[in-house]
Amino acid sequence: MTPVIQTRGLAKRYRRVRALSDCTITVPEGRISALIGPNGAGKTTLLRLLAGLARPTAGQMAVLGGTPRQDPAFLAGIGYLAQEIPLYKRFTAEDHIGIGAHLNPRWDAASARDRLRSLSIPLDRAVGRLSGGQRAQVALTLTLAKRPRLLLLDEPVAALDPLARRNFLATLAAAVADGGLTVVLSSHLLADLERVADHLILLAASRVQLCGDIDALLAEHHVLVGPRKDTTAIEKTRTVVQAVRTARQTTLLVRGNAPVIDPDWESDEVGLEEMVLGYMGQDTPPPIAHLTTVGEDQ
Amino acid sequence: MTWLVWRQHRIQLLIGAAILAVFAVLLLVTGLQMASQWHSALVACTATHSCGDQGGLFLGNRAVGFLVIMTLGAPVLAGLFWGAPLVAAELETGTSQFAWMQSITRRRWLAIKAGWMLLAAAVWGGVISALVTWWSGPNNALHLDAFNPGRFDIMGLVPVAYALFAMALGIAAGTLLRRTLPALAITLAGFIAVRAVIALWLRPHYMSAVTVFYKVTAGYTPRGSYWQLAQGILGPDGRAISTDTVGPVIAGVPATYLPASCAPPNAGAGPIAPSCARALARFHGFVTYQPAGRYWTFQGIETGIFVALAAILLTVTAVVLLRRDA
Amino acid sequence: MISFRVDGRSVVPPYLQIVQQVRQALRMGLLDAGDRLPAVREVVAATAVNPNTVLKAYRDLEREGLIEARPGHGTFVLKRPPGPPPGTHSRLGRSLARWVRQAREAGLDDESIESLLRVTLHAAAEEEEIA
């Protein structure tokens, strides 16, 4: 199956600022991919490039089988939700549904109205007078009504309360369960992402640090705890992502599956948060011969 | 997309239509009055053969007359209220992004949005111009000043072109600056600057002006609503003389240039003394003007210029909008 | 119909929580052979977990022979997991509750109770091995 997203060496530069460098990722179909990274790492830039809202300064990408372009067929397949959730403030939700019906080839107005009614969001109130959470739900509903094949969401739940967040993610996951939809979702809230995502793209310092199915990535990483001592032997067989040394103890986050022979080291499984935080502290990706993306044949 | 353009701009368009309606009522009512006034005056003067002497007749309502003069500024209103916010407001609020993610290409979005609103601007300019042109019929016949700056600009075809230009300028400014308020300022300043430069420095030269020399004793007035660009008196050496004097003037020539035989009480009463006539024969008057027959040619040329400017601005707008990051 | 609860903060992975909840419901008699399990979509809409998580749980249960997916009709329970009947569970659960009350009165906190339970299970496992 062709991946929904495939990029190679993607880069974006604004005047003197390098917003994204050498970004190579693959997102298979049907995934809910979590786009994680510190502020300024390039998450918004990457999403905008994938949606065709910005043009890269270098590199190639294939989204839904082609380069993002000004073409109704391509635009119909992509749903993009910006952080600021731009809707026409004076128009009601019903008005927006009407706009969508006029502008999109595939439009499921009935399900949009059903969804909003089930969330108790009034269809006839000006969107500018709805709460932040309700607006986010309206925006997501409109994006889903378009029946896209790929959904790109830029921190859509940042301003929502926990219940609204839960509803939002549940709606999203249910839409993916219906089939034919892939989601890339950027967020700071690891707890939410851990639940709903099965694929991970980790950006730090405008570069891709990790990209792959979460289960496979977690299986590849371990935490080694041992006394403070020389680690060169370990470094030969594995990539050390992060090393924390105190006076008496060394803690290593490593990637690689070679067994640990040295009895001094205790090996532990690593959770998503620990793995992500280990990479986010880096300025450059850890030095290895190649960085494979995992799970692309699943 | 057309439906969306209507939904977004219907209040603007309805306000415009309302203003046009009020304006139309005012002009129709007073215009009909003026037309009948003029007709009666014509009938009266034809009977007494005094139609050449109607300069003192005043036609129409002063307030409406003032309003008509103010329509000089009507075209730019389209650019300010409709043009500047057209793209800029959507870029500011981000709703352009929403629209562009609705399976509509940016090109189509801009083309339909700008297309309809340019048409609206043309209608705005055209309706006002049609009303003003009709209303000014009697005044034009009376004063023969339709070709003069100030009157040329508010009648005929040019107001439509000005409105299109103002609209295109507003759209372009809004697109390039991405903010409505600066776009408003640029639109207003740009419109005034371009209009002033073209009207004052370009228009006189659309075609080579005609210069006619005539004997000062004969006098000469071009026919119809001509546009006078310059006039004066040339002395015996062929150079213009200053007619800006306080003292007496004979056939336009200041007495200081003429022999005593021209001085009053001889001048004006009875035949001119031969020596005075000889002296006067060495002076020639000239008038440089654009003939009345060229009125519509000039309207066409100026319309063409402003439509071309609008087209350039719209092309720039499209190129920038389509190539720039959203 | 069973409704699932997925605790994001638990050390147990979400898919395993679903598997365990189905098994527990079967043991307790809340689910019986022939009952329909909620569709993947319904579980996802209720718990906000990834659809693959639910799919994985249902696949595991299918492999164990506890449930069966019938295309076009849904997923249905085949049989209970081996073990004592539901009645036994409730009975043992009640005696356990009594014991816990006693332990509390004696001054044991949750952590001590849990560690006592673990030690006892461990000892019992060793006994079974020897036997």
Q: What pairs with residue A186 in β-bridges?
A: A35, A154
Q: Which residue has the higher pLDDT, A227 or A102?
A: A102
In a domain, A287, yes or no: no
In a domain, B33, yes or no: no
Is B185 found in the same domain as B81? yes
In a domain, B60, yes or no: no
Residue A282 has what pLDDT?
A: 57
Nearest to A166 among C40, C44, C48 (CB): C48
**Confidence band, pLDDT 50/70/90 cuts, at residue A289:** very low
B97 contact residues in A (CB cutoff 8 A) = 53, 80, 82, 86
C60 contact residues in A (CB cutoff 8 A) = none
Cα distance between residue A272 and residue A281, in whole Å: 15
A159: exposed, middle or buried (C-beta count within 10 Å: 0-12, 13-18, 19+)?
A: middle
Number of helices and strands in chain A (H, E)? 10, 14
Q: Which residue has the higher pLDDT, A89 or A263?
A: A89
Nearest CA in chain B to A151: B101
Q: What is the pLDDT of residues B190-202, one digit of tens each?
A: 999 999 999 999 9
Q: Does residue A291 have a pLDDT over 50?
A: no
A205 touches chain C (CB under 8 A): no
C8 touches chain A (CB under 8 A): yes
CB A276 within 8 A of CB A209: no
Residue A49 has what pLDDT?
A: 93
Is A60 found in the same domain as A176? yes
Judged by CB atoms closer than 8 Å, whether chains meet at B7 and A99 is answered as yes
Is B120 found in the same domain as B229? no
Q: What is the pLDDT of residues A197-217, one digit of tens each?
A: 999 999 988 889 899 999 899
Domain that holds residue B169: 72-214+294-326
CB A221 within 8 A of CB A253: yes
Judged by CB atoms closer than 8 Å, whether chains meet at A173 and C49 is answered as yes
Structural tokens at position B236: 């015996």
Is B248 found in the same domain as B177? no
Is A237 found in the same domain as A96? no
Q: What is the pLDDT of residues B298-318, one digit of tens each?
A: 999 999 999 999 999 999 999
CB B287 within 8 A of CB B230: yes
CB B76 within 8 A of CB B191: yes
Q: What is the pLDDT of residues B95-114, one digit of tens each?
A: 998 998 888 899 999 999 99
Residue B74 has what pLDDT?
A: 95
Cα distance between residue A180 and residue A168, in whole Å: 19
Enclosing H/E stretch for A173: helix A162-177
**Confidence band, pLDDT 50/70/90 cuts, at residue B56:** low
Is A92 found in the same domain as A60? yes
| Mean pLDDT over the full length of chain C | 87
Is A231 found in the same domain as A142? no
SS3 B233: strand
Residue A150 has what pLDDT?
A: 95
SS3 A103: helix
In a domain, B50, yes or no: no
Cα distance between residue A226 and residue A250, in whole Å: 5
In a domain, B101, yes or no: yes
Enclosing H/E stretch for A177: helix A162-177
Residue A298 has what pLDDT?
A: 36
Q: Does residue C32 have a pLDDT over 80?
A: yes
Lowest average pLDDT, out of A93-97, A232-236, C60-64, goes to A232-236
A75 contact residues in B (CB cutoff 8 A) = 100-105
Residue B265 has what pLDDT?
A: 57
Which amino acid belongs to residue B166? A
Nearest CA in chain C to A171: C45
In a domain, B302, yes or no: yes
Residue A297 has what pLDDT?
A: 40
In a domain, B11, yes or no: no
Mean pLDDT of A110-126: 91
Q: Which residue has the higher pLDDT, B48 or B179?
A: B179
Is A47 found in the same domain as A170? yes
Sequence-distant (≥ 6) Cβ neighbours of residue A142 within 8 angstroms: A87, A96, A97, A100, A112
Closest listed residue to residue B326, CA positions, set B3, B84, B105? B105
| Mean pLDDT over the full length of chain A | 85
**Share above pLDDT 90 across residues of chain A, in percent, rounded to a whole number:** 39
Instruction: Enumerate chain A positions whose Cβ falls within 8 A of a Cβ in B.
Output: 48, 51, 53-55, 70-72, 75-76, 78-80, 82, 84, 86-89, 91, 95, 98-100, 102-105, 143, 146
Q: Which residue has the higher pLDDT, B22 or A292?
A: B22
| Mean pLDDT over the full length of chain B | 89
Neighbours of chain C (3+ CB pairs under 8 A): A
A101 touches chain C (CB under 8 A): no
Is A161 found in the same domain as A26? yes
Domains present along chain C, CATH in parentheses: 14-77 (1.10.10.10), 86-130 (no CATH)
Q: Does residue A115 have a pLDDT over 60?
A: yes
| Cα–Cα distances in angstroms (integers) from residue A191 to residues A165, A166, A272, B30, in the given order | 11, 11, 9, 75
Is B248 found in the same domain as B122? no
* Segment of A170-179, A199-208, B73-82, C89-98 carrying the highest mean pLDDT: B73-82
Closest listed residue to residue C25, CA positions, set C91, C75, C76, C86? C86
Judged by CB atoms closer than 8 Å, whether chains meet at A54 and B105 is answered as no
In a domain, A296, yes or no: no
Q: Does residue B58 have a pLDDT over 90?
A: no
Query: Which alpha helices (DSSP H) does chain C contain, by range?
Result: 14-28, 40-47, 51-63, 86-106, 110-130
Judged by CB atoms closer than 8 Å, whether chains meet at B98 and A79 is answered as no
Q: Does residue A85 have a pLDDT over 90?
A: no
Lowest average pLDDT, out of A48-57, A69-78, B42-51, B212-221, goes to B42-51
Is A54 found in the same domain as A170? yes
In a domain, B24, yes or no: no
Q: Does residue C33 have a pLDDT over 80?
A: yes
Is A228 found in the same domain as A199? no
Sequence-distant (≥ 6) Cβ neighbours of residue C98 within 8 angstroms: none
CATH number where A57 lies:
3.40.50.300
Residue B23 has what pLDDT?
A: 95
Is A226 found in the same domain as A119? no
Is A244 found in the same domain as A128? no
Is B240 found in the same domain as B103? no
In a domain, B78, yes or no: yes
Residue B157 has what pLDDT?
A: 95
Residue A290 has what pLDDT?
A: 36
B94: exposed, middle or buried (C-beta count within 10 Å: 0-12, 13-18, 19+)?
A: middle
Residue B90 has what pLDDT?
A: 94
Is B210 found in the same domain as B267? no
In a domain, A159, yes or no: yes
Is B298 found in the same domain as B268? no
Q: Does residue A293 have a pLDDT over 60?
A: no
Q: Does residue B268 have a pLDDT over 80?
A: no
Is A194 found in the same domain as A275? no
Residue C50 has what pLDDT?
A: 93
Is B245 found in the same domain as B309? no
Closest listed residue to residue A8, CA positions, set A239, A291, A295? A291
Is B220 found in the same domain as B207? no
SS3 B185: helix
Residue A30 has what pLDDT?
A: 92
**Share above pLDDT 90 across residues of chain C, in percent, rounded to a whole number:** 24
Judged by CB atoms closer than 8 Å, whether chains meet at A173 and C45 is answered as yes
Residue B53 has what pLDDT?
A: 59
Is A195 found in the same domain as A233? no
**Confidence band, pLDDT 50/70/90 cuts, at residue A56:** very high
* Phi-psi region at A55: left, alpha or beta (left = phi > 0; alpha = psi -120 to 50): beta
When scoring A44, A53, A69, A70 by the number of chain B Cβ atoms within 10 A, the one with the most, hence best to mutate, is A70
In a domain, A24, yes or no: yes
User: Could you give the number of structural domains in chain B?
Assistant: 2
Q: Which residue has the tokens 């980790």?
A: A202
Sequence-distant (≥ 6) Cβ neighbours of residue B226 within 8 angstroms: B144, B147, B289, B290, B291, B292
Closest listed residue to residue A169, CA positions, set C85, C49, C61? C49
Is B256 found in the same domain as B302? no
Q: What is the pLDDT of residues B274-293, one digit of tens each?
A: 777 788 888 888 999 999 99
**Share above pLDDT 70 across residues of chain A, in percent, rounded to a whole number:** 94
Domain that holds residue A258: 221-280
Is B174 found in the same domain as B135? yes
Q: What is the pLDDT of residues C55-107, one digit of tens each?
A: 999 999 999 888 888 888 888 888 887 777 777 877 888 888 999 999 999 98
User: Could you give the number of structural domains in chain A?
Assistant: 2
Is B282 found in the same domain as B299? no
Nearest to C50 among A166, A178, A198 (CB): A198
Cα distance between residue B143 and residue A208, in whole Å: 78
